[in-house]
Amino acid sequence: MKLIISILSDEDWEDVSRALIENDFRVTRIASTGGFLRRGSSTLMIGVEKERVDRAIELIRNTVSPILDPNIKRATLFVMNVEDYTQI
């Protein structure tokens, strides 16, 4: 099991979330704020099977807004191992 933490601009989170959910991924959104420029952002936590990580990243990559300024990134992704989890 893997956990993808995806930090997106506020303008992209809804479309990305919808694309992931439509492809049977589970998504949890946390509203967040960037540090340097204090821009509004959203953090998506996506629990996925190891075999589906590439598909989730592909959906995120294809759904975020086009890059207009090469100095501003549209998303930051962290993929982490999950040793164990419990649903209650």
Q: What is the CA radius of gyration of the chain?
A: 13
Reported pTM:
0.86
* CATH number of the domain bearing residue 48: 3.30.70.120
Q: Is 87 inside any structural domain? A: no
Q: Is 7 inside any structural domain? A: yes
Q: Is residue 72 very low, low, confident or very high in pLDDT (cuts 50, 70, 90)?
A: confident
Which tens digit of pLDDT belongs to each residue from 4-56?
999 998 889 999 999 999 999 999 999 877 655 566 789 999 999 999 999 99
What is the rounded (10 degree) CA torsion for 57, 77, 67, 17? 60
pLDDT value of residue 38: 61
Nearest residue to 60 (alpha-carbon basis) of 49, 73, 50? 73
Q: Is 11 inside any structural domain? A: yes
Q: What is the mean pLDDT of residues 67-84?
A: 88
Which amino acid is present at 6? S
Q: Is 86 inside any structural domain? A: no
- For 46, the domain range is 2-81
pLDDT value of residue 40: 75
Q: Is 50 inside any structural domain? A: yes
Q: Is 88 inside any structural domain? A: no
Domain count along the chain:
1
Count of alpha carbons within 13 Å of 65, Cβ hemisphere only?
14
Place of tokens 């049977």: 24
Q: Is the dihedral of CA 76, 74, 7, 87 positive or negative?
A: negative
pLDDT value of residue 55: 98
